[in-house]
Amino acid sequence: MGFATNGSADKPLKFLIYGRTGWIGGLLGKLCDAQGIEFAYGTGRLEDRTSLESDIAAVRPTHIFNAAGVTGRPNVDWCESHKVETIRTNVVGTLTLADVCREKGLILINYATGCIFEYNKEHPLGSGIGFKEEDSANFIGSFYSKTKAMVEDLLKNYENVCTLRVRMPISSDLSNPRNFITKITRYEKVVDIPNSMTILDELLPISIDMAKRNLTGIYNFTNPGVVSHNEILEMYKEYMDPKFTWKNFTLEEQAKVIIAPRSNNELDTTKLKQEFPDLLPIKESLIKYVFKPNQKTSSA
């Protein structure tokens, strides 16, 4: 049982990607180049149906990737004071793109978020019991998460959509201020909570394979297991800067310096691992894809 897609096995792949100027969209284009996959970036705005139809007519893609969305600058607190702009792209835009893709018989690989869950008594911190794909959002504490949760729920009705729940993305480019490692090394104080996270260097190629396999439905799109802020900073100290120090603070103290609450959770990766058995546990992936390639000294 699957979506009757236009991206049939005998047709050469051609991707249409939204999010050319973004972090994930930019990385995706580089990966397609490296893999020799033909692709074009969309020029339309997600909320403008006609512009999406023109892109599809011009590019004639086999698959569409959506790495466009608003996340807020400098962070998601922006969405609290720009609700209509957030709705326009993340709700109206994402749903319009999914709808157009369905009408054209195209699979949409949608980079969504796993920041729609928070630890609760059925999924307590440290228990190893993660939220599953079929679980409904239980965190709508920020407007960003609220819109993303609503859209995920609505997209369940679109059999052409593959929803990837990305969390706290990390890449080997430690100069990128969006990188979770870069963020926490620059904060004055950090909380210390285990979370599921996405190592983009390992997982973005997997999302391309998911398109090749025409997978649809929801996937927790993180590495297996959890890692805490302090565990990452310990690794940073070991591999990158032996003199590195940091200060922790509590969730209550953090609440005073941010506007909207943040999500902390563990996602269950059984479904993704069944499809990609070589997927590395988060700490191994961090070392292989991020810290070893960036290591400056010959020790460790």
CB contact set of 47 (below 8 Å; sequence gap of 6+): 88, 89, 92, 93, 96
For residue 100, the minimal CB distance to ligand NAP (Å) is 13
Residue 207's SS3 state is: helix
Taken in order 152, 156, 157, 162, the sign of the CA dihedral is: positive
Q: Is 183 in the site for ligand NAP (CB under 6 A)?
A: no
By CB under 6 A, tell whether 61 contacts ligand NAP.
no
Asked if 98 interacts with ligand NAP (CB under 6 A), we say no
How deeply is 74 buried, as exposed, middle or buried, from its count of CB atoms within 10 A (0-12, 13-18, 19+)? Answer: exposed
8, 21, 157, 175: residue in contact with ligand NAP (rule CB under 6 A): 21
Contact between 291 and ligand NAP by CB under 6 A: the answer reads no
C-alpha closest to that of 291 among 244, 241, 226: 241
Q: Does 149 bind ligand NAP (CB under 6 A)?
A: no
> Residue 4 CB: number of other CB atoms within 10 A?
9
Q: How far apart are CA 270 and CA 3, in angstroms?
A: 23
164 touches ligand NAP by CB under 6 A: no
Stretch that binds ligand NAP, among 54-62, 166-174, 232-240, 289-297 (CB under 6 A): 166-174
169 lines the binding site for ligand NAP (CB under 6 A) = yes
Q: How far is the CB of 145 from ligand NAP (least distance, A)?
A: 10
Binding test (CB under 6 A) with ligand NAP, winner from 178, 271, 283, 288 = 178
Nearer to ligand NAP, 24 or 279 (CB): 24
| Amino acid letter, residue 47 | E
- Residue 46 touches ligand NAP, criterion: CB under 6 A: yes
How many Cβ atoms are within 10 Å of 168's Cβ, its own excluded?
23
By CB under 6 A, name the binding residues for ligand NAP: 18-25, 45-47, 67-71, 89, 93, 111, 113, 166-167, 169, 178
